[in-house]
Structure 1
Amino acid sequence: MTLDPSQTAVDTVLIHSGRAGETGPVNVPVHRASTILFETVADLDAAKGKRFAKGTVFYGRFGTPDTFAFEDSVSALEGAVATVATPSGLAACVLPLVAFLKPGDHVLVADTVYEPTRTSLNAFIRRNGVEVEYVDPRADLAPLIRDTTRMIYLESPGSLTFEVQDLPAIAALARGRGIITVCDNTWATGYFCRPLELGIDIVVQAATKYIVGHSDAMLGTVSVADAALHQPLREAANWMGYAVSPDAVYLGARGLRTLAARLKQHHATGLDLARWLEGQAGIARVLHPGLPSHPDHAIFARDFRGASGLFSVLLDTTDRAVAVRFADSLRLFGLGFSWGGFESLVLPGDPAHARTATRWDEPRQLVRLHAGLEDPEDLRADLAQALTQAFGA
């Protein structure tokens, strides 16, 4: 069954896109393959000639039917013309940089970008002769653009501190000058925000997080609004040796089927906890763009359909020991990296060491929370007792 995404709710599209068909298994089977056999040399040569074309089965590294079905489903989610799957979220973040930047190019990067992406920019992209300039995510970028500016790399909301960028304005500015725009859309996914429809050229996601949804697979996606951008990305992925695990693809495809239901719950629980935390002793400030108190709430309300479960709080203390005591006292919030799974998580953070264009001189302790799929009342009670333990009230 073929659905018209413009006439069908994304909840329905996620259930029916990238499926095996009307007859046979509901889900596309896992294809564990390296070598692909051909009947004749002519068949092999024909496949090799179009090996970068979407849907061509040539060699395992280039993708198999389950990979292509998953990519089509992500394209439906993001409103993209094509998607390239990658073996991790960081691989997805790095792929556009490798595919389109060359020595002498200049790239503007939001100062609040995902820290491993920043490390990749500093450790590898820069040494290839690319000039990397970090910028305030809320700054007017027009005066910063040069003749050599090739790309603007965004993440909205920003990691840890959740600044929301004006994507339509930045996209319009860049497009008028032939600059490629890339946005990390992991926090919202295409379910809550579609940067491509706001004018962005390339969207990347750590599918490890909300798409997989169960904290048990590494996966990334790169989606494009223009088919002309697809070929360079697919070629770069191959020459970098990116090979996506078919089992991870299967888990990603399975996660997409329940993405809408899970994100609705993450949204409701996250906002509920954020609102409640704003009034609690021991909480100085809540950093959640869905709250009217957030400085970028108007942009958020304009461009997003909802919020995920990830946000931060500033504890009313400058003592890290208090923040550690708060995190250690939580019973339902696991302590660990990543987010986007069914489980709630907590992580003390310090944005200061990963900023250069802006200053994070807030002395109070920041803690990042991910609201999972547990009962909201239980999570609220857990946060309340942890605050009591941390502040001794």
Structure 2
Amino acid sequence: MDDLKGMAARTRLVHAGRHPHDNHGVVNPPVYHASTILQPSLAVWEASRKPDFPGYRYGRAGTPTSRSFEEAVADLYGAADAVAVSSGLAAIACALMAVLRAGDHLLVSDSAYFPTRKFCDQMLARYGVETTYYDPRLGGRIADLLRPNTRAVFTEAPGSLTFEMQDIPAIAAAAHAHGAVVLTDNTWGTALHFDALGKGVDIVVEAVTKYICGHSDVMMGLIASTAEHAGAVRDMVRLHGNCSGPDDLYLAQRGLRTMGVRLKQNEANGLALATWLEGRPEVSKVLHPGLPSHPDHALWQRDFSGASGLFSFVLRPVPRAALAAFLDGLKLYGMGASWGGFESLILPGDPKALRTATTWDEPGQLLRIHAGLEDVDDLIADLEAGLERLTAAAKAAA
């Protein structure tokens, strides 16, 4: 369907990027496994070398499989263009390098995804870009950190592990007044729950690995850009030789069509678990911006239309043996990196080592949960049994 204007996001999730009657009526876009793409004449070959060529020139530069996915994502974000890359970190790296050059200054939220920090500190620094980390709750006061050579501000809301919200419209207003580009990692909110470009962001990155894919079987990222930056972003992706494989693109498209209903369940389960955990004596704090107790709840309500299934909570201090008793006996929560799939996960984290502009002073263990699609009563019962094991082990160690 070509004209989706005015239709709801969940409707566009189903229809954007699909052109069945271009493919014999087949509902799902076909998978093109392609490296070589032939041109029928010298004139077309010469035209295919030009940047504005509307067709296909080589598998790495795009196929109908990648184009259908990118078209759908661009539609969802209201972006001039979207490009798929090999991972979420690849999206972050290519987006940053598309706008930065040697001698530039970059501002990055202190609560950003840790691999983002590593890329800034270990790769961008090597090429003469200086990074300053800022308090994610700074809002419009970020203007005080802008230097004459500040080229970009990288945001992430909510923050990784600790879930601080950011006043992105205020940050964007200050950055744009200075002539800086605003980027955001929107993996938690997705295009369904946070209208990043509508809130002043210029370039959005998202880990397709997470909610778009939804089945823990794809590594992919995306970059969605305004018209001003779309060309530079796509050029940088091509210069890096970065692309996504056709089978992964197909799986990502399939996940995209059901993301609306899946994310609704992830949100409901996450809020139910977070609310239940708030009432447990073993828990000192729950970090979920959808809870009224969260210090940035009003900001989340203003800018977001929903939540995902990812949040954290902090235990009251217990011996390591008690923590192990809790985690090792869980039946429904796997312990592994990533999130956004159909299955629930739990992972210990330590923000202390990941901060430079802010501090993390909680004495207890932080645990991050991804609420999957299981029955929420079963998920609660599994946590309850785990906390009972934790309490018993803590008493035994006392």
TM-score if structure 1 supplies the norm length?
A: 0.97
Q: Which residue in 2 is equivalent to 1:264?
A: 264
CA contact (8 A) 1:160 1:368 kept: yes
Flag as ranges the 4+ runs of structure 1 deviating above 2 A: 1-5, 20-23, 318-325
Q: Which residue of 1 aligns with 2:284?
A: 284
- Whole-angstrom CA distance in 2 between matches of 1:194 and 1:388: 41
The separation in 2 between residues aligned to 1:203 and 1:328, in whole angstroms, is 37
SS of the residue 1:49 aligns to: coil
Does the CA-based 8 Å contact 2:37-2:58 persist in structure 1?
A: yes
Letter aligned with residue 75 of structure 1:
A
Partner of 2:149: 148
Which stretches in structure 1 are left out of the alignment for 5+ residues? none
Q: Is the 8 A contact 2:269 2:376 kept in 1?
A: yes
Verify the 8 A CA contact 1:79 1:190 in the aligned structure 2: no
Q: Which residue of 1 aligns with 2:298?
A: 298
- Paired position in structure 2 for 1:77: 76
**Is 2:97 the partner of 1:93?**
no
Separation in 1 of the partners of 2:359 and 2:239? Answer: 38
1:318 Cα offset (Å): 4.9
Provide the residue aligned with 2:195 in structure 1. 194
1:334 aligns with 334
Is the 2:322–2:389 contact (alpha carbons within 8 Å) kept by the matching residues of 1?
Answer: no
Counterpart position of 2:379: 379
In the TM superposition, what is the alpha-carbon distance from 1:317 to its structure 2 partner? Answer: 1.4
1:388 and 1:196 mapped to 2: Cα distance?
45
Q: Which amino acid in structure 1 is aligned with residue 304 of structure 2?
A: F
- For residue 114 of structure 1, what is the amino acid of its counterpart? Y
Whole-Å separation in 1 of the counterparts to 2:129 and 2:322: 42
What is aligned with 1:61? Answer: 60
Letter of the structure 2 residue corresponding to residue 38 of structure 1? Q
Q: State the match for 2:216 in structure 1.
A: 215
Output aligned runs, 1:37-52, within 5 Å: 37-50=38-51
Q: CA deviation at 1:253?
A: 0.5
SS of the residue corresponding to residue 49 of structure 2 reads helix
Equivalent residue number for residue 251 of structure 1: 251
Amino acid at match of 2:324: V
What secondary structure, in the 3-state scheme, does the structure 2 residue paired with 1:141 have?
A: helix
Is the CA contact 1:323–1:367 (under 8 Å) kept in the aligned structure 2? no
| One-letter identity of the residue aligned with 1:59 | Y
Which residue identity lines up with residue 313 of structure 2 in the other structure?
V
**Matching residue of 1:348:** 348
State the distance in 1 between where 2:147 and 2:244 align: 36
3-state DSSP class of the match of 1:323?
A: helix
Identity among equivalent positions (%) equals 50
> 1:72 & 1:160 partners in 2: Cα distance?
31
Contact 2:339–2:370 (8 Å) recurs in 1 = yes
The C-alpha deviation readout for 1:173-208, integer Å capped at 9, x for no partner, is 111121100000000101111111111111100000
5+ residue gaps in structure 2?
none
SS at match of 2:132: strand
Cα deviation digits, residues 342-380 of structure 1 (max 9, x gap):
000000110111111111121111000000000000000
Q: 1:45 to 1:318 in 2, by over 3 A?
A: farther
Asked if structure 1 preserves the Cα contact closer than 8 Å seen for 2:346 and 2:370, the reply is yes
Asked if 2 retains the 8 angstrom alpha-carbon contact of 1:206 and 1:219, the reply is yes
Alignment TM-score, normalising by the size of structure 2:
0.95
Residue range with higher mean Cα deviation, 341-350 or 237-246 = 237-246
Answer yes or no: is the 8 Å Cα contact 2:104–2:130 preserved in 1: yes
Deviation at 1:79, TM superposition (A): 2.1
Partners of 1:9 and 1:304 in 2: how far apart? 16
**Alpha-carbon shift at residue 160 of structure 1 (Å):** 0.2
> Do residues 126 (structure 1) and 93 (structure 2) align?
no
Kept in 1, the 8 Å contact 2:4–2:16? The answer is: no
SS of 2:204's equivalent in the other structure is strand
Please report how far the alpha carbon of residue 76 of structure 1 lies from its aligned counterpart in structure 2 after TM superposition: 1.8
More displaced stretch, 42-51 vs 366-375: 42-51
By how many angstroms is 1:77 displaced?
A: 1.9
